[in-house]
Structure 1
């Protein structure tokens, strides 16, 4: 089994957006000369600043954002980039249930390094005794082999800032579990699949989470801080959406095991539904609203390659809608007119009371314009990406 490290601009950009959104840094301690103490050293530590209670501030140390010691390490079979993004954002959402954005500051994981994660994601063997995935039993059948259950693992740290000091307040660790394990019977041969039920991956994930917890508690800095353990169900490689968080548990007071797991009814759907993506759990009104929006947009501007949306649900209620539109436009005047029309059509047809993002791209993937509305907002913020740099 191969482990790879994915360090893409997209993931870094996403993390920046999640932490800081699009606001200013008026509440930031960025650029200050205060000397803040972390759990391990005394150096100049500041924050990125706050843009509202929805987002965490991030940690800046000696003028540099603190990146994760194990960012992007996962089992190499994962070809669905949507899993990588939704795993991180889902982990942040779980963390907010325990670590308030008003009290805690986000820091990328500093206690589990890349080599450790690589070993943990591997199969257990004589050469890799810390592997969390089961040993290879030598069998090749889809139902007889031991599959790879654990696909990715990520640590997030949550700091408490008291005046000029910053200390570790808690840690969240997410385990990304496969719903489908892809494998080859011979090297470079055909790819086969082992399907893993939600019941099985959840049971395996809880067992692995307790092992991870025991290992984390052996670190002096993590002996007594709260540790959140979260399970993520990965979507298949051909899915048009990422997976979703399915359960979490909190270890307090230095405990080395957890049994009180809380289930999460979080799901992602594609609008309109496809043969691969059934929307049985989505609200029919939400899908109908999007269908009306899609129909009016396509009728008004026929030069479109596609209009789709990713609908994010929590407890059967729509929590966010991300619309993606691919155009065949070539002139900037068309893009401007189209974006203006979208702002009007979205306000009229798309569901209210939830955050909405609309990204307009060309056929080659270049972003042409972007629209967004907050859950409490009524109007859309718009931006046209101009090659001339004057918008």
Structure 2
């Protein structure tokens, strides 16, 4: 499933309910909560079904408008690498589709964990000032660096997604929740001086095993909090809660991080059925890809050389390979060119399409051709299918 591009064809909306019901426990889920500013005449509908090269969840709309998450602004402030935020949000939907069928469930951004509450959860635990913190308390030590590095903050962010179904009465109700736990691979910290200035950034590496161990414990605590009687009168007690554990990339990385595990809390139960995931991203060309994925690296280099035969001057061709269990599943390629005539762009696009078909027959490939004027062409090739080509 592609993470960057979708080819969309709009269709009419389908109204599923004439009004927004209040929150009440249901046998299979929870009715959608009515927002304070809405009236009894508010309508709930879902976004159009979109024929595309991707499978997307249809989104819940209220009075024709998208329902933003309760902690929408918080996520933008805490994740340093934009690629990480994009990857975890889309990846959570990919993982959710394995449990919540896209034909029956609709997507809504999280509504049960508010921004202030979420901020408290991702802060350090302090029995006096912040007993709900999910990151470890500050350690003892003589220096600022010792106190921070010996007890790094393992949790970076928490993202909530709601998956909604239509009940027998024709109303929408929450049928599942997915919680993304974004874990630090490097914990960055710096000391503030008395005059308000800061020292240089320091960092502490957190190994994968620690991320998994801490995420398991954090997930259990979140389940208890979401299913508390104090939250919507215990309305989430019978809703399955799935956790997707993501390990962020370092700040200077040109690639996103990776999902490392999933676990699910069945209705009324704690989190179990933990599965480790093995996914990796590689940049092409790069020394890392050449060392660890030599065959794929050589294939990409040959493709790059063949693409460059079209122009007299060398152009940059950069790829990002997505691997599962050591095998490349998807390859996204960016080719920036100097804009020439429309006919030359078309001819170049045809040339690239031909090389994609020759070199990458068994994986999903997406190629974006751009210039200083913006997007020039898009090529999408799925295994066993003819390529989709669009020149803008």
**TM-score normalised by the chain length of structure 1:** 0.83
Q: Which moved more, 1:167-176 or 1:108-117?
A: 108-117
Partner of residue 203 from structure 1, selected from 213, 217, 220 = 213
Alignment correspondent of 1:152? 157
* Contact 1:270 1:279 (8 Å CA) reproduced: no
Instruction: Note if 1:40 corresponds to 2:33.
Output: yes
Q: State how far apart, in whole Å, the 2-side matches of 1:131 and 1:365 are.
A: 47
Deviation at 1:143, TM superposition (A): 8.4
Q: State how far apart, in whole Å, the 2-side matches of 1:280 and 1:224 are.
A: 48
Alignment correspondent of 1:121? 122
Q: State how far apart, in whole Å, the 2-side matches of 1:130 and 1:102 are.
A: 37
Q: State how far apart, in whole Å, the 1-side matches of 2:289 and 2:358 are.
A: 26
Deviation at 1:285, TM superposition (A): 3.9
Partner of residue 340 from structure 1, selected from 350, 367, 372 = 350
- Aligned-CA RMSD value: 2.8
Alignment correspondent of 1:90? 91
* Contact 1:25 1:48 (8 Å CA) reproduced: no
In structure 2, the gaps of 5 or more residues are: 22-30, 35-39
Q: State how far apart, in whole Å, the 2-side matches of 1:341 and 1:148 are.
A: 49
How many pairs does the alignment contain?
A: 361
Alignment correspondent of 2:257? 243
Deviation at 1:242, TM superposition (A): 0.4
**TM-score normalised by the chain length of structure 2:** 0.83
* Contact 1:235 1:243 (8 Å CA) reproduced: yes
Q: 1:114 to 1:330 in 2, by over 3 A?
A: farther
Alignment correspondent of 1:4? none
Deviation at 1:332, TM superposition (A): 4.2
Q: 1:100 to 1:347 in 2, by over 3 A?
A: same
Q: State how far apart, in whole Å, the 2-side matches of 1:279 and 1:151 are.
A: 31
Alignment correspondent of 1:58? 59
Alignment correspondent of 2:319? 309
* Contact 1:106 1:158 (8 Å CA) reproduced: yes
- After superposition, the C-alpha distances for 1:152-194 in whole angstroms (9 at most, x for unaligned) are 1100111112473211100000000010111113442211211
Alignment correspondent of 1:168? 174
Larger Rg: 2
Q: Which moved more, 1:49-58 or 1:93-102?
A: 49-58
Partner of residue 361 from structure 2, selected from 352, 371, 376 = 352
Partner of residue 190 from structure 2, selected from 178, 184, 187 = 184
Q: State how far apart, in whole Å, the 1-side matches of 2:274 and 2:97 are.
A: 16
Alignment correspondent of 2:27? none
Q: 1:182 to 1:75 in 2, by over 3 A?
A: farther
